[in-house]
Amino acid sequence: MSATDYEAIPEVSGDAAAERVGVVVMKFGGTSVGSPEKLLAVAKRIVAARDEGSRVVAVLSAMGHTTDELIELAHEISAAPKPRAMDMLVSVGERISCALAEMAIEDLGHEAISLTGSQAGIVTDTAHTKAKIVDIRAQRIHEALNDDKIVLVAGFQGVSSEQEVTTLGRGGSDATAVALAAALGADECQIFTDVEGVFTADPRLVPQALKLPRISYEEMLEMAATGAKVMMARSIEIARSYGVKLRVRPAHGDGEGTWITEEDELMLEKAIISGVTHDTSEAKVAIFGVPDRPGIAAQLFRSLADAGVNVDMIVQNLSQQGLTDISFTLPKSDLATAKPIIDAVSGEIGADHVEEDSDIAKVSLVGAGMRSHPGIAADMFDALAGAGINIEIISTSSIRISCVVRAADVERAVQAIHERFQLVAEERVGV
């Protein structure tokens, strides 16, 4: 089942939407609130938005590396902490940020109320540590807005249908913000980060990377799914489904950032390629000597899906003597869960042997314009070959080409592809 099958965010009726004109949802990530000084600056930005006439709902992440520190603490106590207990633990980080922001905003002369995910009416499924939003019951938010209060919502968390605290997985605060914007009929959802917006590549790897003024939902979804850290893929899916106006902006500056919108003719014609992304969080599994008969792939990948393992790229090759080899990628964090399942299924089907490889990376080229421009894949492969980089797996969609390479080669791969496609300002003129 896809993420959008779970995202049953209620639409706002016409009359209700009219009553809530002027709502803006602002989301601030962990680095944006990483110190008391930064959190005070965020409080001033929230107040400024309210002073400009908007009703404000702000979604806050945990301060700095709080979530990582809580996870490390859990593993100092237990080698295998239960997911329910982990959710109880890591959900406190966002609550701390919201409580401190409430204090700061009150000192600035505005009324504010901080809410947990549960208090804000964010209802999820029952999958601890990776829950998906199934409903938004925002009555308490509406009441607070009607009382002229700034509403602060703890990101990354909700309450399940079984009344348990749940968290939404890494980047879940993005999903919180976009889902709230959809449910509230917000005019805009602003995602504040420590970068100026969405770039054609990671500026830390490619200093000459260009900030994009605008990008389509579809392109941003592919970029997020292939390694861009600006936003999580699930939040883009929600925005696309409900037409939420998104903007990625710098948290501590006045830059316009990047608009994420519906694709239009100008974007399609001007922006052949929107960006190069990379992802070092995946591992590769190869199963050799698999009997070539119907149902083998279904048995393997159904077992992995039932265990909540997300499989990405899949390649199946027919080898000699009626045998096939199956290779696929999955998150390194899922390897511990996946390994016993893969071993068990491989034994049942009579496979020869299994190899795991965590020393890989994925590099991807994304652009809506490649639909109508042949030769993009060949140019990408030429760029990698020219840099002496071998390709291990290839996967494509209508607007994305992904290649698995050695982890040690990924930075050179990004640089070579970015240079080959000359992703400079002239290509984005008018966009």
Q: Which residues contact 306 (CB under 8 A, 6 or more apart)?
A: none
pLDDT band at 428 (very low <50, low <70, confident <90, very high): very low
13: left (phi over 0), alpha (psi -120 to 50) or beta: beta
pLDDT attached to residue 9: 56
Q: In whole angstroms, what is the distance from residue 100 CA to residue 111 CA?
A: 13
Q: Render pLDDT for 51-75 as a digit per residue (tens, 0 to 9).
A: 999 999 999 999 999 999 999 999 9
Q: In whole angstroms, what is the distance from residue 404 CA to residue 240 CA?
A: 28
Q: Render pLDDT for 316-336 as a digit per residue (tens, 0 to 9).
A: 888 667 789 999 999 999 999
pLDDT attached to residue 423: 72
Backbone angles phi, psi at 206, to 5 degrees: -125, 90
- Work out the average pLDDT over 107-128: 97
pLDDT band at 378 (very low <50, low <70, confident <90, very high): very high
Whether the predicted pLDDT of 106 surpasses 80? yes
Residue pair 115/95 in contact (Cβ under 8 Å)? The answer is: no
SS3 label, residue 316 = strand
pLDDT attached to residue 204: 86
Alpha-carbon 116 to chain mean position: 21
Q: In whole angstroms, what is the distance from residue 211 CA to residue 428 CA?
A: 10
Q: So where are the chain's domains?
A: 3-194
pLDDT attached to residue 369: 80
List % helix, strand, coil for the chain (3-state, nearest 5): 40, 25, 35
Residue pair 407/392 in contact (Cβ under 8 Å)? The answer is: no
Whether the predicted pLDDT of 136 surpasses 50? yes
Instruction: Report which listed range, 4-8, 15-19, 138-142, 167-171, is most confident.
Output: 138-142
Whether the predicted pLDDT of 152 surpasses 90? yes
Pairing of strands 122-124, 157-160: parallel
pLDDT attached to residue 135: 94
Q: In whole angstroms, what is the distance from residue 195 CA to residue 249 CA?
A: 7
Burial of 231 from C-beta contacts in 10 A (0-12 / 13-18 / 19+): buried
pLDDT attached to residue 431: 33
- Work out the average pLDDT over 9-17: 47
Q: In whole angstroms, what is the distance from residue 149 CA to residue 304 CA?
A: 46
Whether the predicted pLDDT of 264 surpasses 90? no
pLDDT attached to residue 424: 53
Whether the predicted pLDDT of 138 surpasses 80? yes
Whether the predicted pLDDT of 370 surpasses 90? no
Instruction: Tell me which CATH code domain 3-194 carries.
Output: 3.40.1160.10
Residue pair 237/260 in contact (Cβ under 8 Å)? The answer is: no
Locate tokens 């995910």: which residue?
117
pLDDT attached to residue 4: 33
- Work out the average pLDDT over 361-378: 89
pLDDT band at 5 (very low <50, low <70, confident <90, very high): very low
Q: Which residues contact 114 (CB under 8 A, 6 or more apart)?
A: 95, 98, 99, 101, 102, 152, 153, 154
- Work out the average pLDDT over 248-273: 75
pLDDT attached to residue 426: 43
pLDDT attached to residue 288: 94
Whether the predicted pLDDT of 345 surpasses 50? yes
Whether the predicted pLDDT of 186 surpasses 50? yes
Q: Render pLDDT for 17-48 as a digit per residue (tens, 0 to 9).
A: 445 448 999 999 999 999 999 999 999 999 99
- Work out the average pLDDT over 4-28: 60
Task: Compute the Cα dihedral for 276, 282, 286, 290 and give only its sign.
Answer: negative
Q: Which two tokens stand for residue 179?
A: 């889902």
Whether the predicted pLDDT of 6 surpasses 90? no
150-159, 373-382, 422-431: lowest mean pLDDT where?
Answer: 422-431
Backbone angles phi, psi at 79, to 5 degrees: -70, -30
Please, what is the average pLDDT of the chain? 89
Q: Which of 190, 171, 195 is nearest to 180 (CA)?
A: 190
